[in-house]
Amino acid sequence: MSFLVLDRLTKKFGENTVVDALSFSVEKGEFISLLGPSGCGKTTTLQMIAGFVDATSGAVTLEGRDLLKVKPAQRGLGIVFQSYALFPHMSAAENVAFGLEMQRVPQAEREARVKQTLNLVGLSAFAGRYPRKMSGGQQQRVALARALVIKPRILLLDEPLSNLDAKLREEMQIELRQIQRTIGTTTILVTHDQSEAMSLSDRIVVMNAGRAEQIARPHEAYERPATSFVASFLGKTNVFGAALLRQGDTTFAVIGDGRWPVAHIAAERARVTVRPEKIGFGDSVACSMGGRIKMRVFQGNHWLYQVETPSGLVTVTRPNTGEAASEEGATVRVTWRAEDMVVQPEAS
Amino acid sequence: MSALAAPHRRQFTPWLLSGPAVLLFVGVMVVPIAMTVLLSFHDFSMSKGIQPVFILRNWHEVLTDGYFHEMFLRTLRISVIVTVACIALGLPEAYILNRMAPRWRSLFLLVILGPLLISVVARTLGWALLFGGETGLINKTLLRLGVIDSPVPFMFTETGVVVALTHVLIPFMILSVWTALQRVDPQTENAARSLGASQTTILRRIVLPQVMPGVLSGAIIVFALAASAFATPAIIGGRRLKVAATLAYDEFLNTLNWPLGAAVAVLLLVGLIAIIVGSNRLIERRYAQVFQ
């Protein structure tokens, strides 16, 4: 039995189904992300686990016990809110101590644990500071310390880094991961930022319109997206319409003037997605398609090309190896390995 | 325009721009108050009227006579009780208002603000119609039903003045607290709940401290308006139950002793300013670090 299990969890606001029979399970100590565009139901899911929103149907069980029957105040979950929701009239230390006070932890132990947790998030020098006098990153750390100090059974993070600037966000990502590894708290992160989800989590639940499109490890979801939504949401991708051609025992996907061997699919046409970094330029005719470089953009560690082909624009990224890059206007053949394609039958 | 003239002009522009407002302020505010202060040092006798001399007799009388002490103490007592009543009723009302669905909220906001659109005199007379002696609507009904033997004393009592003033002034408290509540991040309540706090604890330790500045500024408004209220104490309290404002009015218009009335009015003004500035300092010192 998994640590936390969501079983066909559903939330309807009137006629509008926000979370639609969502099921997944989380192992103890795991870091899992709910990733999706805004309005996909990820925050509502988190709020149902926290108990701030009542589920319409379905179940949430934590260590085999029905969590939905427990009052929010008794669930013992640590939550970091997007707005941090710090108590503005309390200093950092008082904010962190609040949860322990509610648990009636004796003062001596309380002080020790507050100190230890502020230390963990690197804020030991700011214990007496009020939230208004702290930077966004510092407030974030106080919020994290406040959630962690009660030794929560699960740590819930609701877009915790979205209010920070890009550089700070990256630093906090690394720190968050380190802290989570150190204390080993089971963590659920809600985010719309695919790079955040990929760099932090053990597994990602990619959500769209209240449903889980794919539940997989970050690498797997990126390389083997289950649906074209996952493919386009996780990083950049090229999507082609391909005709399926059967020749003897082999099936080929025909794109432009090129063709690639694929596993047999019972359909006439297919959608093929290929990541830009998997595409290269080559001379051979096998597994390649002719085109002309329309635009070339230098992006530091790599070049970005837009190649015009009979099947539409193809985005290609090539690492900047220091060798001469192909010029704009040049006629090229774009090529990729058959195993780098994701082929899905197209409904005709 | 020459470049040399520019700095010169810039120096005077703020004065020129604020000039009309400053003149208006001095004309309608500073001058009359200064004249009232001066008036309180003049002499008055029935035979000669107001004498433009400088004496301290009015001030001596106001500060030492037990009659005036009673009036000012009553004013203070009524204002404090009204302020406390407005906090006790207005605070929960504002909290409930803030948690209502927007549609209901606008309706109830109108209900709360509605009385402000009606003259204070009309509202106070309404109370008199309900409780005035044996003919008041409620008293009459209760008497007929045999619930009470004699009319509920309301007119010419301090309780009556307090009830009517609370009714008149409570919208100011509700608005002030509601404004403060709107600035509170509703997630702080959820955060406290997730940390194991009960609803009572959340209200006492999370919500109340955050709206305290609103409560205190509302209290200042209510206290100042209650202490200087004229129409309500005049109608409900009448001659028998005078407060500072009705006392000054009587000195001016009934005994025609303008200098004595001026001393009463100035003392009320000074007392109010002292209390308001004092409590404002207190609020600033207590909450400066948290709310800026």
Give the rounded percent of residues in chain B with a pLDDT score beyond 70.
Answer: 95
The 3-state DSSP composition of chain B as helix, strand, coil percent (nearest 5) reads 75, 0, 20
> What is the average per-residue pLDDT within B269-289?
84
> Which residues contact residue A67 at a Cβ distance below 8 angstroms, ignoring those fewer than 6 apart?
A4, A49, A51, A60, A61, A75
ipTM: 0.79
A146 to chain B nearest CA, in Å? 9
Lowest mean pLDDT among A92-96, B16-20, B50-54, B66-70: B50-54
CB atoms within 10 A of CB B3: 6
Domain-located, residue B10: no
Cβ–Cβ < 8 Å for A301, A267: no
Which residue among A75, A89, A102 sits closest to B209, beta carbon to beta carbon? A89
Best B181, B194, B201, B207 residue to mutate vs chain A (most A CBs within 10 Å): B194
Per-residue confidence band for B5, with pLDDT thresholds at 50, 70 and 90? low
The closest alpha carbon to A275, from A307, A312, A235, belongs to A235
CB atoms within 10 A of CB B44: 21
User: What sign results for the dihedral spanned by CA atoms B17, B23, B25, B26?
Assistant: positive
> Cβ separation of A85 and B289 shorter than 8 Å?
no
- Secondary structure string (H, E, C) spanning A74-98: HCCEEEECCCCCCCCCCCHHHHHHH
CA B135 – CA B137 distance, rounded (Å): 6
Contact residues on chain B for A188, CB-CB shorter than 8 A:
none
Long-range contacts of A111-118 (CB under 8 A, 24+ apart): A113/A149, A114/A149, A117/A145, A117/A148, A117/A149, A118/A92, A118/A93, A118/A145
Q: Where are the alpha helices (DSSP H) in chain A?
A: 42-50, 92-102, 107-120, 136-148, 166-183, 194-200, 218-223, 228-233
3-class DSSP state for residue B157? Answer: coil
Each residue of A124-146: pLDDT tens digit? Answer: 999 999 998 999 889 999 999 99
> Cβ separation of A72 and B291 shorter than 8 Å?
no
What chain B residue is nearest to A88 in terms of C-alpha separation?
Answer: B290
Q: Is the pLDDT of residue B141 over 90?
A: no
CA B192 – CA B208 distance, rounded (Å): 13
CA A150 – CA A104 distance, rounded (Å): 11
Count of domains for chain B: 1
Which residue among A76, A81, A130 sits closest to B290, beta carbon to beta carbon? A130
> Cβ separation of A103 and B198 shorter than 8 Å?
no
Per-residue confidence band for B4, with pLDDT thresholds at 50, 70 and 90? low
Contact residues on chain A for B185, CB-CB shorter than 8 A:
83, 85
3-class DSSP state for residue B274? Answer: helix
B210 — contact with chain A (CB < 8 Å)? yes
CA A34 – CA A193 distance, rounded (Å): 10
CA B156 – CA A333 distance, rounded (Å): 101
Which residue among A85, A89, A133 sits closest to B191, beta carbon to beta carbon? A85
Structure tokens at A284: 């051979």
> Cβ separation of A72 and B292 shorter than 8 Å?
no
Domain-located, residue B30: no
Domain-located, residue B198: yes
CB atoms within 10 A of CB B212: 18
CA B77 – CA B211 distance, rounded (Å): 25
CB atoms within 10 A of CB A233: 23
CA B87 – CA B85 distance, rounded (Å): 5
More confident residue, A162 or B205: B205
Domain-located, residue B31: no
What chain A residue is nearest to B288 in terms of C-alpha separation?
Answer: A89
- Residue A348: the pLDDT is 54
Angle between helices A166-183 and A136-148 (to 10 degrees): 20
CA atoms within 13 A on the CB side of A300: 0
> Cβ separation of A73 and B185 shorter than 8 Å?
no
Domain-located, residue B102: yes
- Residue B175: the pLDDT is 94
The CATH number corresponding to A238-345 among 2.60.40.1120, 3.40.50.2000, 1.25.40.10, 2.40.50.140 equals 2.40.50.140
The closest alpha carbon to B210, from A130, A189, A96, A216, belongs to A130
Domain-located, residue B123: yes
> Cβ separation of A85 and B190 shorter than 8 Å?
yes
Decide if domain A4-233 falls under CATH 3.40.1350.10. no
Q: How far is CA A1 from CA A24, A67, A155, A300, in A?
A: 12, 15, 20, 48
> What is the average per-residue pLDDT within B119-146?
84
B292 to chain A nearest CA, in Å? 8
CA B259 – CA B41 distance, rounded (Å): 7
Cα A24 vs. chain centroid, distance in angstroms? 15
Cβ–Cβ < 8 Å for A253, A267: no
B118 — contact with chain A (CB < 8 Å)? no
> Cβ separation of B192 and A89 shorter than 8 Å?
no
The closest alpha carbon to B192, from A116, A100, A61, belongs to A100
More confident residue, A146 or B140: A146
Range picked from A192-196, B9-13, B86-90 for highest mean pLDDT: B86-90
Structure tokens at A44: 């509502």
| Range(s) within chain A of domains with CATH label 2.40.50.140 | 238-345
What chain A residue is nearest to B189 in terms of C-alpha separation?
Answer: A85
Cα A275 vs. chain centroid, distance in angstroms? 18
B204 — contact with chain A (CB < 8 Å)? no
What chain A residue is nearest to B208 in terms of C-alpha separation?
Answer: A89
Contact residues on chain A for B291, CB-CB shorter than 8 A:
88-89, 132
Domain-located, residue B5: no
Domain of residue B257, residue span: 56-287
Q: Is the pLDDT of residue B1 over 50?
A: no
3-class DSSP state for residue A239? Answer: strand
pLDDT string in tens for chain A (348-residue length): 789 999 999 999 988 999 999 999 999 999 999 999 988 999 999 999 999 999 999 999 999 899 999 999 899 899 999 999 999 999 999 999 999 999 999 999 999 999 999 998 889 999 999 998 999 889 999 999 999 999 999 999 999 888 888 888 888 888 888 889 888 999 999 999 888 898 899 999 999 999 999 999 999 999 888 888 888 888 888 888 888 888 888 888 888 888 898 888 888 888 888 999 999 888 777 788 889 999 989 988 889 999 999 888 999 999 888 877 788 888 889 999 988 888 888 765
Contact residues on chain B for A48, CB-CB shorter than 8 A:
none
> Cβ separation of B209 and A146 shorter than 8 Å?
no
| Range(s) within chain A of domains with CATH label 3.40.50.300 | 4-233
CA atoms within 13 A on the CB side of A85: 25
Q: Is the pLDDT of residue B8 over 70?
A: no
> Cβ separation of B196 and A74 shorter than 8 Å?
yes
Q: State the CATH number of the domain containing residue B117.
A: 1.10.3720.10
Contact residues on chain B for A51, CB-CB shorter than 8 A:
194
